A = this chain, B = another copy of it.
């Protein structure tokens, strides 16, 4: 059974800005969907902000193995309820791939717990993404670096927690560096942030970028059953303790009472 991916895109600049719509006539989500669909092991669906429920629902997410997220100008429009739906699914085991300006998306900041801020410059300069770990599954099939002739610059400090793994570090022509591919685990969910992808450049038509996206889907996929109990805080009654114990001391909770949250 193929991995079920959902590519979520705010899809705003594609409709407002001719530079962007000329580059991505089917939207950034359309370009990514095409790139993923080459792989028989991946099934690609798309969703956009202008759809009912902002393209998201509990049912849809329950059937999603890996979610890809692209947003920029409309981060603030995504409802907090939808952010919580996505966070819950990541904790349960859904993979999440956050792209480029998605560093400032509500869902990425929600899962990182930090500002996720950075420096930037839109000058179409050269970016070189160096592969840090040649044997990492996300770097499969790449050379020692990915070169993008035109990209937006993102510069450190990138205020994220220390990553589990750093897969790519970028060099920029104008003098900056950036941790461009970083991994995390949150609950049973695996998260990959991938830096390039500014909407005014043809990044999502690049063959190496396509490889990274497909590799990342395979890496982020957790085949385990959803860990639905991850939010529970169950009481273990004294009489069901695994080792025999006798109740002692003062008590706050009455028998069978739920814990406080």
Q: Which residues of A approach B to under 8 Å, CB–CB?
A: 13, 17, 19-20, 23, 72-73, 75-76, 87, 91-93, 101, 104, 110-115, 117-125, 128, 130-137, 140, 144, 150, 153, 155-159, 161-166, 169-177, 179, 184-189, 198-201, 222-224, 227, 229-238, 241-243, 245-253, 259-261
**Apart from the given pairs A130-B156, A171-B171, A177-B177, 20 other A-B contacts in the complex at a CB distance below 8 Å:** A20-B252, A75-B260, A115-B187, A119-B234, A119-B235, A122-B252, A122-B253, A123-B238, A123-B241, A123-B247, A124-B247, A132-B156, A132-B158, A135-B189, A135-B230, A159-B187, A162-B166, A169-B169, A171-B172, A174-B245
Cα distance, A189 to B158, chains bound together (Å): 15
Task: Determine whether the beta carbon of B136 is less than 8 Å from that of A245.
Answer: no
Instruction: Tell me which residues across on chain B come within 8 A of A159, comparing CB atoms.
Output: 91, 187, 230-231
Best-buried of A177, A199, A236 by chain B (most CB within 10 Å) = A177
Cα distance, A113 to B110, chains bound together (Å): 6
- Assuming the contacts A121-B236, A169-B179, asked whether A201 and B250 have C-beta atoms less than 8 A apart, the reply is yes
Task: Determine whether the beta carbon of B124 is less than 8 Å from that of A248.
Answer: yes
Task: Determine whether the beta carbon of B137 is less than 8 Å from that of A165.
Answer: no
In the complex formed, the residue of B with least CB distance to A111 is: B113
Instruction: Tell me which residues across on chain B come within 8 A of A122, comparing CB atoms.
Output: 251-253
- Assuming the contacts A13-B252, A76-B261, A252-B199, asked whether A243 and B130 have C-beta atoms less than 8 A apart, the reply is no
Cα distance, A128 to B201, chains bound together (Å): 27
The 3 closest A-B pairs by CB, nearest first: A135-B188, A124-B249, A175-B242
With beta carbons under 8 angstroms apart, the residue of B201, B229, B241, B249 that contacts A134 is B229
- Assuming the contacts A230-B134, A231-B115, asked whether A175 and B128 have C-beta atoms less than 8 A apart, the reply is yes
Cα distance, A235 to B121, chains bound together (Å): 6
- Assuming the contacts A250-B200, A261-B76, asked whether A236 and B155 have C-beta atoms less than 8 A apart, the reply is yes
Task: Determine whether the beta carbon of B170 is less than 8 Å from that of A177.
Answer: yes
Q: Smallest CB–CB gap between A168 and chain B, Å? A: 9
Q: Smallest CB–CB gap between A11 and chain B, Å? A: 14
In the complex formed, the residue of B with least CB distance to A87 is: B113
Instruction: Tell me which residues across on chain B come within 8 A of A112, comparing CB atoms.
Output: 113
Task: Determine whether the beta carbon of A176 is less than 8 Å from that of B104.
Answer: no
Task: Determine whether the beta carbon of B132 is less than 8 Å from that of A161.
Answer: no
Cα distance, A237 to B121, chains bound together (Å): 6
